[in-house]
Amino acid sequence: MGFLAAVHLTVFAAASLTNVFPKIASSPSYSFGGSNMLAAQIEQGAPADVFASADTKLPAQLHAKGACGTPVVFTRNAVVIVVPRSNPGHIRSVTDLTRRGVKIDVAATGVPVGNYTTKVLRTLHLLGAVTKNIVSRETDVRSVLSKVALGEADAGFVYSTDAKTVAGKVTVITLPARAQPNVRYAACVVATTHHRSTAQAFVHGLLRSSAQAKLRAAGFLSLP
């Protein structure tokens, strides 16, 4: 995104975009974290030019409040289960997460991946049984990934793209297709930006073939 070179943008982006966004555009200043926390900071007046969320709900809420422009859906993802490479909990499928003594780490409610996790478990009628084994709720997906990779939990729910970043430390267990949520990422221009045209160029630049190629290389799914 050479068109960004002249202006130093501040981009608030979902933690799961940590590895790929700097490859798409290296000049912006990035703040990565839980999408819900970033959205709250924008509402409170934090200086940001662009917001990129791991869902469509948060940008839509900001747009409805006049805090950002029209959200643009720019990629998709999938939710998976990760277990430590040694798999001490002997997890082979999502139903194994209901076994007594299994330690599960998830993202907190409000964090997009936390909401997707709840949706998955509700679809599979496993929410109650799995909730009993949750030992920690994190502020973003990378925190879940880190704890599982370090062996501090037997399993966790993350995006497939996050699992790829520590491929040697975790094993991925896929979910039944019927339980896979529709994970869509959306970006919007923050209303208080002083660099509106450049921020808009960044958001729409995410749909360019070069940006889409880098997203797919990182494991993100193409738009339908």
Give the whole-angstrom CA distance, residue 76 versus residue 16.
11
**What is the average per-residue pLDDT within 175-180?**
97
Tallying the residues shown for the chain, one arrives at 224
Query: pLDDT tens across 124-145, in order?
Result: 999 999 999 999 999 999 999 9
Instruction: Supply the pTM of this predicted model.
Output: 0.94
Q: Give Cα separations from 125 to 107, 118, 129, 132 (angstroms).
A: 19, 10, 9, 14
pLDDT for the residue numbered 3:
47
Alpha carbons 163 and 223: distance in angstroms, whole number: 20
The tens digit of pLDDT for each residue in 15-36 reads: 999 999 999 999 999 999 999 9
Q: What is the pLDDT of residues 64-95, one digit of tens each?
A: 999 999 999 999 999 999 999 999 999 999 99
